Structure 1
């Protein structure tokens, strides 16, 4: 269950209606997992300062996944997401900040059980 969390100073009204569909496609390509596995949340219209400026559009994001993250994977993913944020939201590359978290199955739960336990049942 990869999860992308986005915090932005962009108002909801300026986020394209198809943003969700499009970003899930980008994530699926980048992380190499099925689109139906992804979780994504956007916290919009936040007070945000990047590079000393709070008026230009900016995004701070975290991407968490069990696997498919690492040195080479992250380079590919950040390139895809940076281009997407610039195209869809008008966020310049120097105002997009992304952190990656490669999670262990015992640190993630769904439906009241850890993914580790869920995988052992299969």
Structure 2
């Protein structure tokens, strides 16, 4: 059930047309999850500041049942940083990545939960 939420100051017109599909493949591989369960949400045109500046920045959230936490997040953070930077041009020091490990019973899908 990974959900990859990316909020960016980047204008919608400047986002590559295939970005969400690339992001879906990327996060599925990074977390070792089937892409068929991945949701990607890109929210462009955000009015944001980071570190007291309105230079291009982002806010990233990764929700997952397992596959995140502890030392794993260092690797995930590095890979996500490189991905966002290479695809959207946002420097890796211009956003935080927040990891949320969701309990199976706290994620609904197809009329039930993953519990």
Q: TM-score, normalised by structure 1?
A: 0.89
Structure 1: distance between partners of 2:12 and 2:99? 25
**Structure 1 stretches (4+) deviating beyond 3 angstroms?**
none
Secondary structure in structure 1 of the residue aligned to 2:71: helix
Larger Cα-atom Rg:
1
Matches within 5 A, 1:1-122: 1-54=1-54, 56-116=55-115
User: Where is the helix percentage greater, Structure 1 or Structure 2?
Assistant: 1
Unaligned runs of 5+ in 1: 117-122
Structure 2: distance between partners of 1:112 and 1:8? 32
Structure 1: distance between partners of 2:111 and 2:8? 30
Structure 1: distance between partners of 2:105 and 2:79? 29
Structure 2: distance between partners of 1:26 and 1:104? 23
Q: Does the Cα contact within 8 Å between 2:20 and 2:42 map onto a contact in 1?
A: no
Secondary structure in structure 1 of the residue aligned to 2:93: helix
Q: Match for residue 120 of structure 1?
A: none
Structure 2: distance between partners of 1:114 and 1:25? 24
What is the root-mean-square deviation of aligned Cα atoms in Å? 1.1
Q: Match for residue 119 of structure 1?
A: none
